[in-house]
């Protein structure tokens, strides 16, 4: 897995609704998330847009640094730490922004890797808040006035 995950890589939460015209090859990465093969964030965004869907880029970037010996396990643990954030419930994709070179990064002889990721969200609606929630909120506001 570590050879394939690099800056621009995309992970998608299992069960995420996708455009019917878009066919993605993916493999399990961490629990509940899949690594998308052959698509980086830019290319996936173009394909989703062609299908009439939206691929939001949410504000902020999260990073995690992990120490260890096994490269694949370090990358996996760093991704798990990023996804463990409570905000991960609010998005269905993660774009890996940066990954420090594992081979050259050492601290007191122990290898470490730093992975940075950005929250993304795939949905059919062009609005970040689904239409049903907007209508519900409008009704709640109207009821209080």
What are 91-104's pLDDT values in tens digits? Answer: 899 999 988 765 55
* Residue 132 or 82, more confident: 82
Percent of the chain at pLDDT > 70 equals 78
- Least confident stretch, 28-32, 50-54, 66-70, 105-109: 105-109
Q: Average pLDDT of the chain? A: 80
- In this structure, what token pair is assigned to residue 26? 């993916």
Residues composing the chain: 145
pLDDT-based confidence at residue 106 (cuts at 50, 70, 90): low
Q: Is 123 left (phi over 0), alpha (psi -120 to 50) or beta?
A: beta
What are 3-42's pLDDT values in tens digits? Answer: 468 888 999 999 989 898 888 898 998 889 999 988 888 8
pLDDT-based confidence at residue 117 (cuts at 50, 70, 90): very high
Q: What is the mean pLDDT of residues 131-145?
A: 52
What is the distance between the alpha carbons of residues 140 and 50, in angstroms, rounded to a whole number?
Answer: 35
Residue in the structure block whose two tokens are 């890797």 = 113
CA atoms within 13 A on the CB side of 139: 6
Q: Any residues with CB less than 8 A from the CB of 60 and at least 6 apart, and which?
A: 118, 119
- CA proximity to 22, closest of 4, 2, 39, 1: 39
* Residue 130 or 11, more confident: 11
Residue 28 burial by Cβ neighbours in a 10 Å radius (0-12, 13-18, 19+):
exposed
DSSP annotation of 51 reads T
Residue in the structure block whose two tokens are 């808040």 = 129
């Amino acid at each position: 897995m570590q050879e394939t995950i690099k800056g621009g890589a995309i992970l998608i939460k299992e069960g995420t609704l996708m455009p019917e015209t878009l066919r993605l090859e993916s493999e399990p990465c961490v629990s509940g998330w899949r690594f998308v093969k052959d698509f980086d964030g830019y290319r996936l965004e173009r394909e989703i847009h062609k299908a009439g869907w939206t691929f939001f880029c949410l504000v902020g970037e999260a990073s995690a640094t992990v120490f260890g010996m096994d490269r694949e396990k370090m990358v996996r643990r760093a991704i798990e730490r990023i996804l463990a954030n409570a905000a991960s419930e609010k998005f269905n994709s993660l774009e890996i922004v940066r990954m420090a070179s594992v081979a050259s990064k050492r601290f007191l002889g122990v290898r470490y890797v730093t992975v940075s990721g950005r929250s993304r969200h795939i949905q059919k609606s062009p609005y970040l808040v689904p239409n049903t929630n907007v209508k519900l909120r409008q009704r709640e506001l109207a009821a209080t006035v």
